Amino acid sequence: MRILIVSILMIVLTSCGVVKVNYDYDDQTDFTAYSTYNYFGDMETGLSELDEKRLMEALDATLRENGFMFAEEPDLFINIKSMVFQAQQGNNVGVGLGGGNGGVGGGVSIGIPVGGPKMTRELQIDFVDSNKDMLIWQAISESPFREGDTPQEKSENLQAVVDKIFSKYPPE
């Protein structure tokens, strides 16, 4: 019984932190031809200044691990967009009332939401070929977001999102 409770608790805890990522890319692009990057100068990320700094540090570290170098005249420009929204509530408890007599029946039912509102951060990262001025790769992630996280937790969460985003770069 104890193993069952622990297993259920682990599933619930790990399912709350799931990062979902959707990818799109130009299938005619040779991604091995890109080795340098920079950020668009006029980016409006939608992040706070501190979160933007944390995200860019995570991106820089991950891109360096993937063999990219930061450059003033890069092969790729990176654009970042982000927004936070309240995720649709999926858990409800149904309450019903019914009755009937002589072959005639009726009923009333309502759904009551369970739990508080869940905030989700959508993060979009675009790679634009600097010579062709053309979008060649895009990743859009959705992950849980809590406003009250500590700076350390925010850094770790953003690094986990970046790691998940770049787990399938370059596309095969």
CATH number, position 28:
3.30.160.670
Number of domains making up the chain: 1
Within a domain: 127: yes
Which residues 6+ apart lie within 8 Å of 97 measured at CB? 107, 108, 109
Share of the chain above pLDDT 70, in %: 72
Tell me the residue range of the domain where 33 lies. 17-87+116-168
Q: Tell me whether residue 103 is in a domain.
A: no
Residue 105 covered by a domain:
no
Q: Are 83 and 124 in contact (CB under 8 A)?
A: no
pLDDT in tens, 12-45: 444 456 889 999 999 999 999 999 999 998 899 9
Angle between helices 151-165 and 49-65 (to 10 degrees): 40
Under DSSP, the state recorded for 91 is -
Give the model's pLDDT for residue 153. Answer: 94
59, 54, 19: which is closest to 39 by C-alpha? 59
Query: Residue 98 pLDDT more than 90?
Result: no
Tokens of 79: 């654009």
Answer whether residue 12 is part of any domain: no
Is residue 6 one of the residues assigned to a domain? Answer: no
In the chain, what percentage of residues exceed pLDDT 90?
A: 59
Is residue 143 within 8 A of residue 100, CB to CB? The reply is: no
32, 170 Cβ separation under 8 angstroms: yes
Amino acid at the residue 114: V
For residue 1, tell me if it sits in a domain: no
- Per-residue confidence at 145, pLDDT binned at 50, 70, 90? confident
Compute the Cα dihedral for 39, 41, 42, 47 and give only its sign.
positive
Distance CA 122, CA 147 (A): 14
- Given a cut of 90, whether residue 151 has pLDDT beyond it is yes
pLDDT of residue 155: 94
